[in-house]
Amino acid sequence: MLLKYIIYAKEVRNVDCIFCKIIKGEIPAKIIYEDDKILAFKDISPIAPTHILFIPKEHIESVNFLENQHIDLVGEIILKMKEVAAKLGIGDEGYRIVNNCGNLGGQTVGHLHFHLIGGRQMQWPPG
């Protein structure tokens, strides 16, 4: 049986997951912010002048897999996004935070992530 999950530095990682590989340094990324629980890096295919992905270091597949134990973690990610947006100088002009969940939600990478998108006028409704 394939061992899919490993305990790495006390956290669950998925060996098949590209974002877990970025966390482990196996795939390069332009890191914007890192602490023991959160990693932020530039999206490889930016859709705006600022496009950064914020992920938990714990492998959580999507919002559908969030539990009560993750409430603080998600709150910290959102607050960190606000902080980074301010540091990058786009806080006051505004930006968009996006999470795509599951197939119809448009999620293409199965590791929870929040997009910080800014630097241009956003449109509504999204596609």
- Structure-block tokens of residue 110: 């199965």
20 binds, among Zn ion, ligand AMP, none (CB under 5 to 8 A by kind): Zn ion
Q: Of residues 83-122, which lie at the interface with ligand AMP (CB under 6 A)?
A: 100, 106-109
- From 6, 12, 27, 71, residue interacting with ligand AMP (rule: CB under 6 A): 27
Number of Cβ atoms within 10 Å of the Cβ of 32 = 18
14 binds, among Zn ion, ligand AMP, none (CB under 5 to 8 A by kind): Zn ion
Size of the site for ligand AMP (CB under 6 A): 12
What element of type H or E holds 73?
Answer: helix 71-87
Instruction: Give dist(CA 76, CA 90) in Å, integer.
Output: 19
**20 makes contact with Zn ion (CB under 5 A):** yes
Rounded to 5 degrees, φ, ψ at 74 are -65, -40
90 binds, among Zn ion, ligand AMP, none (CB under 5 to 8 A by kind): none
Residue 34, CA distances (Å) to 2, 4, 37, 63, 121 in order:
30, 25, 8, 21, 28
Catalytic residues: 113
Q: Which residues bind ligand AMP (CB under 6 A)?
A: 18, 27, 29, 43-45, 53, 100, 106-109
